[in-house]
A and B are shown apart, each in its own frame.
Chain A
Amino acid sequence: MDVLTTPLTAFSQYFSKSDYVLALPMILLTVFALGILMIDLMLPEEWKRLNALTALIGLGFSAAAVFRIHSLLGPEVSCIPGFFGTVVMDRFAVYFFYLFLVGAAVAVLMSVKYLEIERENHGEYYALILFSVIGMMAMACGYDIIMLFIGLELMALSTYVLVGFLRRDQRSNEAALKYLILGAFSSGIFAYGLSLFYGLTGSTNLGTIAQGLEKRISANPNDPVVIFALLAVSTGLLFKIAAVPFHQWAPDAYEGAPTAITGFMSVAVKSAAWALLLRMFLFGFYPLRALYVPMLIFVALATLTGGNLAAITQTNTKRLLAYSSIAHVGYMLLGLIASDGTSNTTGIKGIMFYLLVYTFMNLGAFAVIASLRRREIIGDDLDDLAGLYKKAPVEAVLMLIFLLSLAGIPPLAGFYGKYFIFLSLVETGHFALAGIAVLYAVVGLYYYLKMANAMFMREETTAEPVKSSPSMSLALAICAIGTIGIGLFPNVFIELVNWSMSGANAATIAQLMH
């Protein structure tokens, strides 16, 4: 009896009020998602827009709860552990929370009109977006491999359903099935790797895993079991961020998914996967750095090559942007290679800054494509962009801004994203990698300008006008302000990224945990 009693009493005494403050952003999102499911049952068809409003209010409340945690992290407090150390709320996590909430809010705004045109206006759509944000939050703040895995699965399962949400569209169904099968497979490999790390170190806590691995790796720097476990976990993580050679699902899933969800997947879901990857590689597996850096160099180069070269030949804008997003992952991976963690954090800051910038510019590009969806016109073909400047000059100019930002032209936000990555490479002496990355940026310019060429230089193929809705205009405005604002006033945002990285190194957290 004693064996059981002790942990159980500890259990009920342990959860303090502060633990609930940490979970509050997720609790609020759960309440609102369940609320949407219940309200949707009572809403008549013409009131379905209310669901989007409820989702936005939920995201707003959640943001307020994140701000509460934000204010708890003062200058002396670098992180607050909670729930037996399974959750660590540090500035890194809070930064990602904001990214997820912004990405989800813009995706909701993009969806309102789009779903009405597709005649799939159901409350479940918004509920699933909120559920996937809960999963992302668990991925960003989890410090325990079980917590991280549950977060990953919650996010992925919601996304599978969202990809296949246009159930009358064969492409959407195919995309969802492909994504589900490949995603489940990669999750399995990921979980297998995690189980090996548990077996090697006897703990599910990332801090303890790091200590155990340090001992193991100092005894034998090429321990085959460690290498195998690292490979399995990396496969899962690289699949989720869509790095070559695990990228095959991305173009299909991005093309078939509802455009708003494609945008959501390419920013929020990808940021969450990056949060998980950084958390694992920088906190848990940091002792294995000598093993994973050569692997990441190979993957980064393959990703840059595969993404950029495949994007050139695409004629479908969603597919093109899917390959471009694969290429962007390649740049971000270079940041991870360049940062040696303790002495140089420019690379990690570069990744965090890149993700922020990418959220606005990529969502903006997908918002323009979503606004091209009209009756009878899907709007995701390169020809649908033809002559857009004559039909809808505002959309065309905004698209140009987003495309130039994606290509990395100053003074737009995308330039600073690439700038910090290249800076970190030069600072740490990776000159060859920096050179290759710059060359690929030129390749990127070609296919982004191919889209711009269609919009401004070619004759329109259809006379069907492009009508914008208030919510879509708001989404476009947010993305445009973000893209131009970060480009013009980068200092404010660099401060934000510096803040999010301060105190977020492995040593501080390890001290707090033990």
Chain B
Amino acid sequence: MPQNYVPIFIFLLIAFLIGAGTVLVASLIRPNNPDKVKLMPYECGIDPVDSARKRYTVRFYIVAILFVVFDVETVFLFPWAVQFKLLGLFGFVEMMVFLGILIVGYIWIWKKGALEWI
């Protein structure tokens, strides 16, 4: 039913107004005197050394992919940990199978040298 979605649109509108309003009010009342240091891109407090727009070594991508795999693994571990008692032995065995498969993959990437940064 379309009318059921009206609250969502009102919610979206309010969210947009708050965001836009804050930026607008801030730009009106703040002092405006930029200098070189203030305009620098913020990188965890460290001064940037170079432009970010260049080619990266492919190793970054491997690390990123491996991170995603084990990140998703933890996503599956959390619900199991929360309902550990309820799921009982069945859940335990199923999770061990899941972890077992991932551990085979882990040993494999380790032996293949994907974790080394030469």
Residues of A within 8 A of B (CB): 4-5, 8-9, 12, 15, 30, 34, 37-38, 41
Contact = CB atoms under 8 A, between A and B. Distances in A.
B108 interface: yes
Contacts of B86: 5, 8-9
A12 B91 contact: yes
B104 A37 contact: yes
Nearest to B91: A12
B104 A12 contact: no
B88 A38 contact: no
Contacts of B101: 30, 34
Interface of B: 83, 86-88, 90-91, 101, 104-105, 107-108, 111-112
Nearest to B88: A12
> At the interface, is chain A mostly helix, strand, loop or mixed?
helix
B87 A12 contact: yes
B108 A15 contact: no
Nearest to B89: A12
Across the A-B interface, the 7 shortest Cβ-Cβ residue pairs: A12-B90, A34-B104, A41-B111, A37-B108, A8-B86, A37-B104, A38-B104
Majority-rule SS of B interface residues:
helix
A15 B107 contact: no
A12 B88 CA distance: 9
B12 to A, nearest CB: 21
A18 to B, nearest CB: 16
A4 B85 CA distance: 13
Nearest to A8: B86
B17 to A, nearest CB: 31
Nearest to B100: A34
A116 B42 CA distance: 52
A41 B88 CA distance: 35
Nearest to B101: A34
Nearest to B103: A34
Given A8-B83, A8-B87, A12-B88, 17 more contacts: A4-B83, A5-B86, A8-B86, A9-B86, A12-B91, A15-B90, A30-B101, A34-B101, A34-B104, A37-B104, A37-B105, A37-B108, A38-B104, A38-B107, A41-B108, A41-B111, A41-B112
Contact of A38 (B90, B91, B108): B108
Contacts of B87: 8, 12
Nearest to B112: A41
A410 to B, nearest CB: 49
A37 B111 CA distance: 11
Contacts of A12: 87-88, 90-91
Nearest to A42: B111
Contacts of A30: 101
Contacts of A15: 90
Contacts of B108: 37-38, 41
A30 B102 CA distance: 12
A12 B94 CA distance: 10
A63 to B, nearest CB: 23
A37 B91 CA distance: 26
A38 B101 CA distance: 11
Nearest to B104: A34
Quick one: which of A8, A15, A30 has the most chain B CB within 10 A?
A: A8
Contacts of A4: 83
B116 to A, nearest CB: 15
A58 to B, nearest CB: 15
Contacts of B107: 38, 41
A369 B105 CA distance: 34
A30 B104 CA distance: 11
Nearest to A127: B108
Contacts of B105: 37
Contacts of A9: 86
Contacts of B104: 34, 37-38
Nearest to A124: B108
B70 to A, nearest CB: 17
23 contacts: A4-B83, A5-B86, A8-B83, A8-B86, A8-B87, A9-B86, A12-B87, A12-B88, A12-B90, A12-B91, A15-B90, A30-B101, A34-B101, A37-B104, A37-B105, A37-B108, A38-B104, A38-B107, A38-B108, A41-B107, A41-B108, A41-B111, A41-B112
A430 B88 CA distance: 59
A6 to B, nearest CB: 11
Nearest to B107: A38
